[in-house]
């Protein structure tokens, strides 16, 4: 082993898992711009900034166990798709979708830092050009990569650094009117409930890892789905629609997103016969603070908030049945999320996983993770993006649509709030789900139906 490899930064346990076959995941982010993209400006900007971010200027060691410093040749990481707009005509969206889909079948070169950027100066219905950023999941999770994007951009209004709100975890505040005895009873009840919920969730998680599988529906992939090409699409809706529903129903944005997703999947599977068991994996942020912290704290070597140390995932059944009242989905979602918040499963699952990785190796940990994924149907994630419109070296950004591929799901659904908009990003295996646009339509229609029901009842 060379001296550079000996001095390299060790990969976290989850980063090692993401290098294994069957779990070889990449994050792909499609960014729409208001103007044509000047490739030379992007190259110049990356030359000035890439060395500041260690994971993007390091490559894997030969044994795949550590990150080692390397000289980055920007030309090896930027690709410009030369295509005549007249030749594409009105099929800009189709060209972008096909291009991104083909990328999922081209592996990243592990002899270089595991990322690349593709510039498509193709006009679509909502952007004049598209930039596709692909990075291996072992470089970081979506939260840390979004923090990296914010650190490299400026707001279009004031040219300040982009800002993403960092949310503090809520602390319970007791009113003075509540006596110490009532507080004691509440604490005992809460502790018993916490232990019971954790026990039930842990048993369910183990059952899913060993034998409990979701119903084979038109949304669930077959064996080997992780190796199939993926297709991506997105939809942009108003963030205010989610906010007004949140306020009217006294719930969180995450509750609303889950309720809308349940309604959409129920509509999509309306004609499927029989009872359905459909389980979604939900990523839970276990960092001390919700939201985003400074990039150095999230990605730097030996940071306690380093990706892989404070992230876990949980799975829980989604109710799939067509309800006459769309508000029922919100109530079910809030109940499910409240229960999951009162459980130690995410922290316990992560600690157990870390123990398995360190004791038995990443191969066994990767096998368990793959079984958890393959026995469930989908992943749902939600991230907070910049609150204001941002630009990268003079290129104003219209939307940011992140997604992921390389895991054993035929469907993943990602939500990202950006500049008063909610971007819905969907990734599918086209062999299982031929048209992801239909799912986008179902989500948008479900959101409208829920809002209309609230208006009809005078709750808005």
Catalytic residues: 137
> Quick one: CA dihedral 319, 324, 329, 335, positive or negative?
negative
Element (H, E) at 410: none
* Per-residue DSSP letter, 255: H
Contact, 143 vs 416, CB < 8 A? no
DSSP-assigned beta bridge partners for residue 404: 27
Cα Rg of the chain, angstroms: 22
Task: Determine the Cα–Cα distance for residues 119 and 81; give it in Å rounded to an integer.
Answer: 6
Task: Determine the Cα–Cα distance for residues 283 and 381; give it in Å rounded to an integer.
Answer: 6
Task: Determine the Cα–Cα distance for residues 84 and 118; give it in Å rounded to an integer.
Answer: 16
- Where are the extended beta strands (E) located within 3-55? 9-10, 26-33
- Where are the extended beta strands (E) located within 177-310? 231-238, 278-285
Residue of 309, 315, 139 lying closest to 212 (CA atoms) = 315
Element (H, E) at 458: none
- Where are the extended beta strands (E) located within 175-263? 231-238
Task: Determine the Cα–Cα distance for residues 108 and 26; give it in Å rounded to an integer.
Answer: 9
Task: Determine the Cα–Cα distance for residues 446 and 320; give it in Å rounded to an integer.
Answer: 14
**Chain length of the chain:** 460
Question: What's the burial of 352, exposed, middle or buried (CB within 10 Å: 0-12/13-18/19+)?
Answer: middle
Phi, psi angles (nearest 5°) of residue 152: -100, 5
Residue in this structure with the two tokens 């992780």, named with its chain if needed: 226
Task: Determine the Cα–Cα distance for residues 303 and 274; give it in Å rounded to an integer.
Answer: 49
Residue 63 Rama label (left phi>0; alpha psi -120 to 50; beta): alpha
């Amino acid at each position: 082993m060379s001296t550079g490899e000996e001095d390299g930064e060790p990969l976290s346990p989850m980063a090692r898992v993401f290098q294994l076959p069957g779990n070889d995941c990449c994050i792909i982010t499609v960014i729409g711009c208001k103007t044509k993209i000047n490739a030379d400006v992007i190259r110049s900007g990356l030359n000035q900034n890439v060395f500041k971010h260690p994971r993007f200027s390091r490559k894997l060691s030969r044994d795949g166990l550590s990150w080692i410093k390397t000289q980055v040749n920007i030309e090896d990481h930027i690709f410009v798709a030369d295509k005549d707009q007249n030749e594409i005509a009105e099929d800009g969206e189709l060209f972008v979708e096909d291009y991104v889909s083909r990328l999922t079948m081209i592996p990243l070169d592990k002899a270089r830092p595991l990322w690349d950027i593709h510039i498509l100066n193709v006009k679509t219905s909502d952007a004049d050009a598209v930039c596709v950023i692909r990075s291996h999941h072992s470089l970081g999770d979506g939260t840390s990569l979004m923090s990296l994007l914010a650190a490299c951009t400026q707001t279009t209004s004031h040219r300040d650094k982009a800002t993403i709100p960092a949310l503090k975890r809520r602390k319970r505040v007791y009113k003075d009117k509540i006596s110490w005895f009532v507080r004691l009873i509440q604490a005992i009840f809460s502790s018993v409930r916490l232990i019971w919920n954790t026990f039930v969730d842990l048993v369910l998680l183990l059952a899913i890892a060993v034998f409990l599988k979701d119903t084979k529906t038109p949304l669930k992939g077959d064996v080997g789905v992780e190796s199939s090409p993926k297709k991506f699409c997105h939809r942009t809706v108003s963030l205010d629609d989610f906010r007004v529903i949140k306020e009217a129903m006294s719930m969180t944005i995450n509750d609303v997103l889950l309720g809308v997703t349940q309604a959409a999947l129920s509509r999509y599977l309306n004609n499927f016969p029989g009872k359905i068991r459909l389980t979604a994996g939900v990523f839970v942020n276990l960092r001390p603070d919700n939201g985003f912290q400074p990039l150095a704290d999230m990605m730097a070597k030996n940071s306690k908030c380093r990706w892989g140390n404070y992230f876990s995932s949980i799975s829980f059944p989604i109710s799939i049945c067509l309800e006459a009242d769309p508000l029922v989905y919100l109530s079910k979602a809030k109940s499910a999320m409240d229960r999951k918040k009162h459980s130690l499963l995410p922290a316990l699952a992560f600690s157990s996983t870390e123990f398995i990785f360190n004791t038995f190796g990443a191969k066994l940990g990767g096998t368990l993770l793959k079984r958890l994924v393959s026995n469930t149907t989908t992943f749902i994630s939600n991230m907070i993006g910049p609150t204001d419109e941002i630009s990268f070296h003079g290129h104003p950004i219209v939307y940011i649509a992140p997604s992921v591929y390389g895991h054993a799901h035929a469907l993943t659904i990602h939500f990202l709030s950006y500049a008063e908009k909610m971007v819905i990003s969907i990734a599918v295996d086209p062999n299982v789900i031929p048209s992801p646009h239909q799912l986008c339509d179902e989500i948008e229609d479900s959101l409208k139906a829920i809002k209309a029901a609230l208006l009809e009842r005078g709750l808005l």
